[in-house]
Amino acid sequence: MSKVIVKEKERVLNVVGHPVNRVDALAKVTGTAKFTADYYVPNMLYAVVKHADIPHGYIKKIDTSEAEKVEGVVKIATGKDIPGVKKVGFPIPDEEVIVQEKVRYIGDVVAIVAAETLEAARKAAEKIKVEYDPLPVVLDPEEAMKEDAPKIHDSGNIITHFKIRKGDVEKGFKEADYVIEREYRTQFIEHSYLEPVAALAIPVGDMIEIYGTVQNPHNARRITSLTLGIPMHKVRVIQPALGGSFGGKDDTANFVAARAALMAKLTGRPVKMVYTREQDMRESYKRHPYIMRYKVGFTKDGRITAMEIKVITNAGAYSSSSPLVLYRSTVQCTGTYEVPNIKGDFYTVYTNTVFSGAMRGFGAPQINFAVESLMDEIAEILGMDPVEIRLKNAYKEGSVTPTGQVLKGHVVSIRDIIKKLAEIADWKKKREEYSKDKGDVRRGIGISCAFRGVSLGAEGADYAGAIVEVFEDGHISITSGISEMGQGAKTVMSQTAAEVLGVPIEYVTFVGPDTSFSPDSGPTVASRGTLMGCGAVKVAAEVVKERMAKYAAKLFNTTYENIVFENGYVYSKKNPENKISFPELAKKCYLDRVNLSAVGWFLAPEIHWDPETGEGEPYFTYTYYADIAEVEVNVKTGDVKVKKVYAMHDPGKVVNPKTAKGQVYGGVAMGIGYALKEEYKIDGKGYPITLNFDKYQIVRAHEMPDVEVYFLENPDPSGPFGAKSLGEPAFDTVAPAITNAIAHATGVRVRSLPATKDKILKLLKEKEERR
Amino acid sequence: MKKQLLRMRVNGRDVEVYVRPDARLIDVLRDLGYLSVKEGCGTGECGACTVIMDGKTVLSCITFALQANGKEIITVEGLAKNGKLHPVQEAFIEKGAVQCGYCIPGFIMSTVYLLNENPNPTHEDILDALEGNLCRCTGYVKIIEAVKEAASRLKKEA
Amino acid sequence: MSIGIQMEKTEMLTIVGKPVKRIDAYEKVTGLARYVRDLRFQNMLYGFVFRSTEPHAKIKKLDVKEAKKVPGVYAVVTADDIPGENIVPIILNDRPLLAKDKVRYIGEAIALIAAETKEIAKIAASKIKVEYEPLPAIFDALEAMKEDAPKIHDSGNIFTHYKIRKGDVEKAFKEADLIIENVYQTNYQEHVYIEPQGALAVPEGDGITVYSSTQCPYYVQKAVANVLGLPRSKVRIIVTTVGGGFGGKEDVPSWVSAEAAVLAWVTKRPVLLEYDREEDMETSSKRHPGYVKYKSAFKKDGTLIGIKVEYVIDAGAYSTLSPPVIFRGTIHAPGPYKIPNVWVDGYAVATNKVPTGAFRGFGSPQVIFAYEQQIDEAAYKLGLDPAEIRLKNALDLGDETATGQILRYSVGVKETIRKAIEVSDWYRKRKEYSLMEGTKRRGIGMSTIIYGVGLGAAGKILERSGATVQITTDGSVIVLVGTSEMGQGMRTVLAQIAAEALGVTIDKIYLPEVDTLAVPDSGPTVASRATVMSGNAIIDAAEKIKENLLKVASEELNVPPERLDIKDNVIFDTDNPNVKVEFDKIVEIAYAKGVKLAAVGWYHAPDTTFNEQGLGDAYYVYSYATHVAEVEVDLETGKVNVIDYYAVHDSGKIINPVTAEGQVQGGVAQGIGYALLEDLVVENGKIMNPNLTDYLIPSIKDVPNIKVYFVEAEYPEGPFGAKGLGEPCLMPVAAAIANAIRHATGVRIKKLPMTAEKVFFALKEHGVRG
Amino acid sequence: MKLTIFVNSKKYEFEEIDPNMRLVDLLRDKLGITSVKIGCENGTCGVCTVLVDGVPVRSCITPVSKVNGKKILTVEGLGTPENPHPLQKFFIEYDAVQCGFCTPAMILYGYYIVKKNPDVTKEEIKKMISPVLCRCTGYIPIIEAIKAYADFVKRRREK
């Protein structure tokens, strides 16, 4: 079930805020939606990559002679065949589309084969022989930080070090009645989009056209343009239906696109490259494992006085978005709580593991796990209720964040959320009741809450563009660089256009993204799709609306401010009886040659942040949310069943309650996996163990609990219709609610994710022994 | 009709396909992906389907595919070497001889053949060699200029 | 070989006016350009059209059962199966996609078939049974105009009648010193774009994408939406490389694409419909056969004081584009001359033949063939030089046209005549050739024309164009327009305009083919309008972006934005050019600041008018041309050889002299074909020579070295002063050659084409011998 | 081997086909039925599911030799965009679709489950669709959509 709690009476909206069906659902349920691998073109070659054989070493020689003998092989490319830039990546260009000199993890690509058949390409890839000069391997980020550790890149192993210095921690600790130190750890997580990465590159004249599983087509265009050494306008990237992403179809997927493009360029023929699950899991980036050490001072009544924090994240072999992920962890390092004195040091470090990058949550879930576990531990020490301690420290309007930003200009709703959710979940009663469980199966209930800076913040320029066009028959097409990956971006952007122009959503079609006409809108990440995409669509639609209104004003003999667009009709406020249908007005405008097309541009409010001191306003607004989880733990087997999850979010304005609910359900499922099951494992020598879904297990249907979703709307002045973020919050704080519930049920606390039954059993045994 | 094996070499690549005895060379080449070979009339009048077979131009729309058995075919796709255009291609660009482009592969193949046979063609030689290729856009003037330009470029190269 | 005469001083331009190489030449010489039939989709079926064998008949019974049973057949579609409306929307909306109860010409589509191969589809077609009840058919337009003629449509046989009534024509004839009255007749002309018609339709979810070889993507979008009953937003038309258009891909692709779309929609699979040459020639639109009765009144000194014209075009079975064709024909009937008294009637008339449509010149070459011989003949009769009589009567700045329009700017017609006289060595050759004897005689002839740029008052709602311009993060420029490239060089010319407007080099510009969902409806790519319309829309968009860029640069350079300009990828202070920054650098900074570097540009043309009396500002501007042809006539065989040719054009500013010259040369070649070779034979409604073996177009040996000159009377509203060029290239040719034949032989040929046979008999009739 | 199969009620005959060819490749590469997805190629994720004689089968680990003479159903055979099957409509209505990659398999499971037992409970549906992985939806809307379809079938049956 789900419910939208509307606080105040607001302007009546006709499409936005309504549970509209997804605009792309019909194609997807009838199997007519085309994903990248579904494209077949004549004369197409198949390409397969050859991955590194060792995790660290210099390439001495690549021998392709045997491979070339395989019948059907057309071209084998190595790093030398790259005509353009060798090193790419954002923000630090340290990644190689094909590695030339040195391999840094087992997923590095050393060569690519293009052949007439997939079989031939695979066979040839196996026959490529690479000789290496092996180098010592370092897998632990703390080891990698040491002076004498093997250098993975020439620049040294510490990629980024961010600091937070707020107040005086020593003073803060002095004020405290208690000071505790805790260490929390999290694991590598695989995105597990069900569609493996793929690309089809087609040479068209001196251009390359790419269909790819890319989350950010404009990024894929940039990487391909750099790799091929041709300007961006010679690369056209089209995004077909995308089979899930969760942040995972950026870097690696862009490289796959660039590799297919390279092979197409070298052979002059279309080249299709579809990864197997094993290749994908071997090469693609993961969620960062974190080591988080918190020293916290607090008073008897539960007030936190100081925090000293050290966070080390494993970036793996390449930096990818590690600095940006670390940035978010840094500025959100105290969770949703106001802490007067903070000293924080945050490091992201190269190792020879698979590299880490963007994934739903982007540096927040790890921090939330630490801080939310910590709050429960403090509550336990003080004998307080976890809800109480949270209310005691949670942000309110005027609170100052670790970076010194004063929270204002939007409703700081976290306390409201905690209270309301606890009430809905019947928290107090259950907390007491479950504590009394004595048998093998014990119940527990846990809470977790968080806040989140909306959109990119100081991570990068925060803009989006959209084009809206009204046709002669009154139907509308829209496009934007903001892309659909299942989250419902096309649907909410279509709703926005329909809302502004006062027509049913059926009038609207989303086209693209296609880099040849969709405006570059920055990446579809950071839960910014709705905010920025809808924002840009709204601006464009309003421009067109104004032109149409001016035309209608002439028809109705009034001024354009009086013109109303509603439910497919247009009329003057002065005389609502005298209507004209939207298509009729469109036709009239068309015949009178009125321009019914416009580019909308949406620019986020300006912000700034100083990475040296950690001071500034890293995000222009924040969103707030909480989860409560109920679990059953079998203390004999360690088995955990999540029975129920309550989630409450303040996304500003819910543009589509139906798809919004779907985001939360999906986030909860992923959160359960994060809490209990999922771990991408690498053996002691740097070789991955979990390369397919048989070993890397994600949540299946029978493991899903009941989920109740609540939305508390506090429209934000900076967002379209007041909307802000939801995609990542849906996941961000699920895991600690579950581990807190486990602690409640069992009395033992798992401080490293995932909370597997082995870990729980071990802790229970230790507890037993202590007794 | 039973299919028969056709072995030929297209632009330096050995090809083996089973084709019906009545299959036209143009269709087989296009099915193999050599889409530069264009059909304009299907009756051998317009020359858009011209390819070079064992050194001589043929009209692939009125040539049976099996006639190419054991032969070497060159299409426009086979002219550029290592990413560098053939001088005839360069000259066609340079002289503005291309408009809609549909006839251009045929003209280029006829020109390549002409200049192979006769590196110093006179104006009349050019007219004779290209009479079988129709163009509806350019009025031929710039095509003739391009052929002359190509001849001089080839001579310089040689 | 082109000479530009600058009539006004233009600002310093870096790319516009330069012989830039075509941006699509590379893909075309390497064979990589993708024409519609080069596209392949998985699961693709092939379409085929089953057609009428009767010129006029009721369909009593249509049985497709057996055809459906053929293995490999996926669909056989008749009029009843069309999901939307069975109308291809073109102006009067009288053309069905598939004939239902009645067929009106041989070749009219009755059923559509989709099958695994084209062969299977043809087998299926052979199993379709139709029972016809023949109706009286009519094949001659003049016959069709008669009261008692069988009615092809319920509304009668005259589709459209336009007229001009100005002054008092009868009075003029009374006051005339010389009256010349003749009847001129012209035949069909087939476009023979080398790429025949084709379309590929791909169903995508609840919408459809159609790849089409078309000049008019928005017409196609409308047609497909109409026959499928879909909103416009679900119909996406992507224009592939077009292998020649010349007007032949104006209305025809609407039904070719709609046919493919219906099959794809019904089968849920991609369907490629490719016409072969014969099918194309039998069913596609052509230039209208024309009948022109022309009466002209002259004073002794050569002054043209009045004309009376009856002009009838044979529209075939459906009106399609005939209304605007006869509009242009009517307006252009008086020619580029000042005439105080004008009476013109133009009729488009139905017959039971293939519908005729748009072809370069659009209803004007037929009347030009008449009026340019009329004035030429007057010169002979009055003892004047043909060039002089044209100069005497030609329009000038401030003059009034036949429709009463005052010409306010850009009138270069006299300049074209003077230039033509000069470059062709006119007077010397006139004299010299007149003295020739023997069996081979030479002659030199002139022809001068006026051409209304754009669609004119009859099509003014379409006089609008959009363009979207975006700058990418690396400083590349993506320019989206809604008009098509069909070989004329539009993409190159528009890329030049974009580069000039933004101050960047042309290698930065990407201008893809049209995608109707990416660019606002920009009207058709016809009437030589693309440069003016899309060009202006690009400038509009580019200026918005440039403004934003200069603001960013202003902050970087500390120079006020109004002092900054961009040239050759550098932004600089116009007062101190050393203060500068790279264009790419500013783009990078702009992106980092989130500055908008995308805009939709828009242009709609100045208003045009045309009243009941045929008076008004019919077109917003006119282009002009004078051609001089030199021929050699073999008196023994009647064979006419064009031995030399001079074409002088005023199309305003020439954006690219190389592509412009190419346009003119191609147009002249087509005109030579029209004049001398191209002879479509239609008997009882059936085309007897629908192939290139029997319908001859000029080969490389039929075309002389065409010399091209431009006088640039710049049009202030045009992008950098440009007007239209595409059509005027063909329009004067037939008349120039006819006048040259008259000069060579003394015989005037009044019927096109002037084949050797026709000339031979005309010479014989007049007793001309070597 | 020679192979005859019926896919979505249409008969396909292959004169000569490798018996070890995977069913998924036959459907995608030869027949163009691309609703059948490839997610893991070892039978774990279930997105390649098709119904063979009414029963869910993982086409990525099924050689074509095993389906000779059998009837295969994919979502294309259930409904089209103009005329979607009721189950497909319920998937839309209940927002059971996000990225769409598992959707065809989930729908086929739903069809199979309800055909087997229209009285199926949500808990049973939950267990029965567990062979197919979904990473977007958290399964809840999928379960709801299938249940709604089951109720719809029951209502129709009762009428």
Say which amino acid occupies A341: N
Domains and CATH numbers, chain A: 8-33+463-603 (3.30.365.10), 36-136+195-283 (3.90.1170.50), 360-457+610-770 (3.30.365.10)
Please state the rounded mean pLDDT for residues C525-539: 87
Kindly provide the ipTM of the predicted complex, given to two decimals: 0.86
Please state the rounded mean pLDDT for residues A163-174: 96
Beta bridge partners of C138: none
Chain D residues with CB inside 8 Å of A276's CB?
41
Is the minimum CB–CB distance between A568 and chain C shorter than 8 Å? no
Which H or E run includes B149? helix B141-157
The more confident residue out of A604 and A265 is: A265
Whether the pLDDT of residue A487 is over 90: the answer is no
Q: Give C441-491 pLDDT, tens digit per residue.
A: 999 999 999 999 988 888 888 888 999 999 999 999 999 999 999 888 999
Whose tokens are 């890397």? That residue is A696
Q: Please name the residues in contact with D40: beta carbons below 8 A apart, sequence gap of 6 or more.
A: A277, A692, A693, A694, D47, D60
Range of the domain at C650: 290-457+611-765
Q: What is the CA radius of gyration of chain A?
A: 27
**In Å, what is the CA distance from D118 to each residue of A282, D95, D113, D125, D150?**
42, 21, 8, 11, 5
Chain C residues with CB inside 8 Å of B23's CB?
none
Please state the rounded mean pLDDT for residues A386-397: 97
Please state the rounded mean pLDDT for residues A448-459: 86
Residues 104-133 of B with CB under 8 A from C: 104-105, 108, 126-127, 130-133
> Which sign, positive or negative, has the C-alpha torsion C486, C491, C493, C494?
positive
User: Chain B residue closest to C213 (CA)?
Assistant: B100
Least confident of C380-384, C491-495, C766-770, D7-11: C766-770
Chain C residues with CB inside 8 Å of D31's CB?
43
Q: Which of C27, C40, C518 sits opposite A206 (nearest CB)?
A: C27
In a domain, residue C177? The reply is: no
Q: Is A108 helix (H, G, I), strand (E, B) or coil?
A: coil
**Alpha carbon distance D57, D105 (integer Å):** 10
**Alpha carbon distance D146, A409 (integer Å):** 44
From-to residues of CATH 1.10.150.120 in chain D:
79-158
Nearest Cα neighbor of C139 from C309, C289, C283 is C289
B142/C700 Cβ within 8 A = no
Chain A residues with CB inside 8 Å of B33's CB?
42-43, 269
Is the minimum CB–CB distance between C5 and chain A shorter than 8 Å? no
Distance from CA of B72 to the nearest CA of A (A): 19
Q: Which of C42, C203, C205 sits opposite D32 (nearest CB)?
A: C42
B abuts D (3+ Cβ pairs < 8 Å): no
Q: Please give the tally of structural domains in chain C.
A: 3
The mean pLDDT value of chain C amounts to: 94
Chain C residues with CB inside 8 Å of B34's CB?
31
Question: Is residue C352 domain-shared with residue C485, that is, in the same domain?
Answer: no
**Alpha carbon distance C601, C514 (integer Å):** 15
Q: Retrieve residue D91's tokens.
A: 């998937």
Q: Give B60-85 pLDDT, tens digit per residue.
A: 999 999 999 999 999 999 998 877 89
Please state the rounded mean pLDDT for residues A527-554: 92
Identify the residue among B26, B79, B102, B144 best suited for mutation to test binding to C, counting C beta carbons within 10 A and taking the highest: B102
Residues 19-78 of A with CB under 8 A from C: 24, 26-27, 30, 32-34, 39-42
B33/A42 Cβ within 8 A = yes
Q: Retrieve residue C375's tokens.
A: 């004035």
Q: What is the three-state SS of C702-725? A: HCCCEEEEEEECCCCCCHHHECCC
Question: Is residue C571 domain-shared with residue C586, that is, in the same domain?
Answer: yes
Q: Which of C42, C43, C268 sits opposite D80 (nearest CB)?
A: C268
Please state the rounded mean pLDDT for residues A498-514: 93
User: Chain A residue closest to C204 (CA)?
Assistant: A32
Q: Give C256-292 pLDDT, tens digit per residue.
A: 999 999 999 999 999 999 999 999 999 999 999 999 9
Is the minimum CB–CB distance between B39 and chain A shorter than 8 Å? no
Least confident of A75-84, A156-165, A240-249, C1-10: C1-10
User: Chain B residue closest to C657 (CA)?
Assistant: B96
CB atoms within 10 A of CB C50: 24
B32/A269 Cβ within 8 A = no
A659/D42 Cβ within 8 A = no
In a domain, residue C15? The reply is: no
Chain A residues with CB inside 8 Å of D139's CB?
665, 669, 700-701, 704
Chain B residues with CB inside 8 Å of A43's CB?
32-33
pLDDT over 70, % of chain A: 98
CB A207 within 8 A of CB C509: no
Please state the rounded mean pLDDT for residues B123-132: 96
CB B76 within 8 A of CB B109: yes
Chain C residues with CB inside 8 Å of A595's CB?
464, 466, 520, 600, 602
**In Å, what is the CA distance from C473 to each residue of A231, A319, C509, C593, D85?**
10, 22, 13, 12, 45
- Phi/psi of residue D115, nearest 5 degrees: -60, -40
Distance from CA of B32 to the nearest CA of A (A): 7
Identify the residue among A269, A467, A590 best suited for mutation to test binding to C, counting C beta carbons within 10 A and taking the highest: A467
Whether the pLDDT of residue A275 is over 90: the answer is yes
C241/B140 Cβ within 8 A = no
Whether the pLDDT of residue D51 is over 50: the answer is yes
B87-157, what's its fold? DNA polymerase; domain 1 (1.10.150)
pLDDT band (50, 70, 90) for residue C8: very low
| Burial bucket for residue A237 (CB in 10 Å: 0-12, 13-18, 19+) | buried
CB atoms within 10 A of CB C228: 24
Q: Is C357 helix (H, G, I), strand (E, B) or coil?
A: coil
Is the minimum CB–CB distance between D149 and chain A shorter than 8 Å? no
Helix and strand numbers (H, E) in chain C are 19, 29
A40/D138 Cβ within 8 A = no
C598/A597 Cβ within 8 A = no
Question: Is residue C437 domain-shared with residue C391, that is, in the same domain?
Answer: yes
Nearest Cα neighbor of A536 from A591, A589, A606, A466 is A466
In a domain, residue C278? The reply is: yes
**Alpha carbon distance A728, A744 (integer Å):** 26
CB A547 within 8 A of CB A596: yes
Domain ranges of chain B: 4-75, 87-157
Q: Give A638-656 pLDDT, tens digit per residue.
A: 999 999 999 999 999 998 9
CB A281 within 8 A of CB A692: yes
Shared fold status for B4-75 and B87-157: no
Q: Give C698-745 pLDDT, tens digit per residue.
A: 999 999 999 999 999 999 999 999 998 999 999 999 999 999 999 999
The pLDDT assigned to C11 comes to: 56
Q: Retrieve residue A180's tokens.
A: 């505790």
CATH number of D79-158: 1.10.150.120
In a domain, residue C153? The reply is: no
Assign domain D3-77 to its CATH architecture: Roll (3.10)
Q: Retrieve residue B134's tokens.
A: 């129709």
Please state the rounded mean pLDDT for residues A114-139: 97
Q: Give A658-703 pLDDT, tens digit per residue.
A: 999 999 999 999 999 999 999 999 999 999 999 999 999 999 999 9
Boundary residue ending a domain (C218, C251, C283)? C283
CB A479 within 8 A of CB A512: yes
CB A449 within 8 A of CB A712: no
The pLDDT assigned to D73 comes to: 97
Chain B residues with CB inside 8 Å of C701's CB?
127, 131
Question: Is residue C645 domain-shared with residue C671, that is, in the same domain?
Answer: yes
C-D CB pairs within 8 A amount to 9
Q: Give A142-166 pLDDT, tens digit per residue.
A: 999 999 999 999 999 999 999 999 9
Identify the residue among D99, D103, D109 best suited for mutation to test binding to A, counting A beta carbons within 10 A and taking the highest: D99
From-to residues of CATH 3.10.20.30 in chain D:
3-77
User: What's C326's domain CATH number?
Assistant: 3.30.365.10
**Alpha carbon distance C530, C243 (integer Å):** 17
Q: Give A1-11 pLDDT, tens digit per residue.
A: 667 765 544 55
Please state the rounded mean pLDDT for residues A437-458: 92
The mean pLDDT value of chain A amounts to: 93
In a domain, residue C548? The reply is: yes
| Burial bucket for residue D65 (CB in 10 Å: 0-12, 13-18, 19+) | middle
| Burial bucket for residue C37 (CB in 10 Å: 0-12, 13-18, 19+) | buried
The pLDDT assigned to A6 comes to: 57
- Phi/psi of residue B120, nearest 5 degrees: -120, 65
Please state the rounded mean pLDDT for residues D3-12: 93
**Alpha carbon distance A650, C255 (integer Å):** 53
Residues 591-610 of C with CB under 8 A from A: 591-596, 598-600, 602, 604
CB C716 within 8 A of CB C409: yes
Is the minimum CB–CB distance between A30 and chain B shorter than 8 Å? no
Q: Which chains touch A (3 or more CB pairs under 8 A)?
A: B, C, D
Q: Which chains touch C (3 or more CB pairs under 8 A)?
A: A, B, D
Is the minimum CB–CB distance between A18 and chain D shorter than 8 Å? no
- Maximum pairwise Cα distance, chain B: 51
Q: Please name the residues in contact with B85: beta carbons below 8 A apart, sequence gap of 6 or more.
A: B79, B93, C26, C29, C30
Is the minimum CB–CB distance between B77 and chain A shorter than 8 Å? yes
Which H or E run includes A348? strand A341-350
Q: Which chains touch B (3 or more CB pairs under 8 A)?
A: A, C
Which H or E run includes A189? none
A27/C205 Cβ within 8 A = yes
Least confident of A115-129, A362-376, A447-461, C127-141: A447-461
Is the minimum CB–CB distance between D83 and chain C shorter than 8 Å? no
Distance from CA of C594 to the nearest CA of A (A): 5
Q: Give C197-240 pLDDT, tens digit per residue.
A: 999 999 987 899 999 999 999 999 999 999 999 999 999 999 99
**Alpha carbon distance C739, C433 (integer Å):** 13
CATH number of B4-75: 3.10.20.30
Q: What is the three-state SS of A534-560? A: HHHHHHHHHHHHHHHHHHHHHHHCCCH
Is the minimum CB–CB distance between A272 and chain B shorter than 8 Å? no
C507/A232 Cβ within 8 A = no
A754 prior amide bond cis, ω within 30:
yes
The pLDDT assigned to A10 comes to: 53
Distance from CA of C667 to the nearest CA of B (A): 7
Is the minimum CB–CB distance between D101 and chain A shorter than 8 Å? yes
Write A419-422 long-range contacts (CB < 8 A, 24+): A419/A387, A419/A391, A420/A5, A420/A648, A420/A710, A420/A712, A421/A447, A421/A626, A421/A628, A421/A646, A421/A648, A421/A710, A422/A387, A422/A447, A422/A628
What is the signed CA dihedral for B121, B122, B127, B132, rounded to 10 degrees? -20
Whose tokens are 């022109």? That residue is C292
